[in-house]
Structure 1
Amino acid sequence: MNVRIDDTDRKILAALQQDASRSLDDIAREVGSSKTPVWNRIRKMREAGVIGQQTVVLDAEALGFEACFFVLIRTSEHEADWQGRFLKALQDRPEVQEAHRLAGDIDYILKVRVENARAYDRFYQALIAEVRVHNVTALLSMEQIKSTTMLPL
């Protein structure tokens, strides 16, 4: 479904990206509208798929997940059966926060959040026991410099 996004919609989306728990009254006041039109616009954007799942952002380190690894995977397998098993393996592992299929020398990149290096090794061992990969390189993030889910509206 196509939906046209105007300036008011962009203001609503920007407000929701900053804090989706804000009241409709607050958002309406910020965008210069009233509550009902803002609610209708939000509903339409949800129905159109512009607005997806609403959630909260947790502090990984405060919860004991101190290690963030970026995992580069090369594979010589490209058959549908292998891809299905690989994608299922990633979906089944909550440690995998993001997974991307890439163009270029590396086939996949994963963002994996775990407690420590031992926990990463358990993840790695379980993954390679389930699906065959040609080469895996794990890069430990030493410091998160920027992280956002906000789009530049």
Structure 2
Amino acid sequence: MQRSLDGLDWRILAHLQRDGAATAAEVGEAVGLSQSPCWRRIQRLEEDGVIKRRVALLDRKAVGLNVMLFSQVKLEAHSGDKLDEFREAIRQIPEVQECFVLMGQVDFLLRIVTKDIEAYERLFFERLSKLPGVREINSMIVVSAVKETTELPLPA
């Protein structure tokens, strides 16, 4: 059972969203707690699944992934087998960073990163277009980012 979050929990979460590498002492100092109670709260938030994991966020361009695209995918049919096969196949493609099931004109929205346009072209023809049940893929290249964040809007 998940416990309700109080003001200190929200402040801890906000701080960890900005700096996941912060120590319990650093977080505690920022939110007005000593190290031990802060560490216990962080542990509880992790055990309750509120904090899924802590990671390093990389600059995709600094690691040579210069192109980001969004691809809209329409499937031929929505039968269980083809749908499950498509989902599993998508999970195996590292360039696909996110995949969302949609309601509306398209079935899935993919966020994809590649080294360059040629790398995307290879990915498209060698893998994406061969995915189970795919009828149509429309891709849009990101020209620039107006806003990118991993921080969720938390209560103050």
TM over 0.5: yes
How far off its partner does 1:130 sit?
3.3
SS in 1 for 2:36: helix
Please give the alpha-carbon distance, in whole angstroms, between the structure 2 residues aligned to 1:85 and 1:113: 22
Q: Moved runs in structure 1, 4+ residues, more than 2 A? A: none
Code of the residue aligned with 1:137 in structure 2: it is N
Query: For each residue in 1:19-67, what CA deviation from the matched residue of structure 2 results, as whole angstroms up to 9, or x when unmatched?
Result: 0111211110110011111111111111111000211110111111100
Q: 5 Å matches for 1:7-86? A: 7-86=7-86
Aligned-pair identity in percent equals 32
Q: Which amino acid aligns with 2:65?
A: F
- For structure 2, the residue ranges without an aligned partner over 5 or more in a row are none
| 2:129 and 2:137 in contact (8 A); partners too | no
Given that 1:3 and 1:45 are in contact with CA atoms closer than 8 Å, whether structure 2 keeps it comes out as no
Q: How many residues align?
A: 153
Structure-to-structure mapping, 1:131-150, within 5 angstroms: 131-150=132-151
TM norm structure 1: 0.96
Aligned-residue CA RMSD in angstroms? 1.0
CA–CA distance in structure 1, aligned partners of residues 11 and 94 of structure 2 = 33
Unpaired segments ≥5 residues, structure 1:
none
Query: Aligned AA for 1:131?
Result: P
> How far apart, in 1, do the equivalents of 2:57 and 2:151 lie?
12
- Corresponding letter in the other structure for 1:40: R
- Listed as ranges, the matches of 1:110-125 within 5 Å are 110-125=110-125
Shift of 1:76: 2.3
> 1:61 is paired with a residue of what secondary structure?
coil
Residues 71, 136 of structure 1: 8 Å contact kept: yes
- Does the aligned pair in 2 maintain the 1:89–1:127 contact within 8 Å? no
1:47-97 CA-partner distances (Å, limit 9, x unpaired): 111000211110111111100010001112211111121111111011011
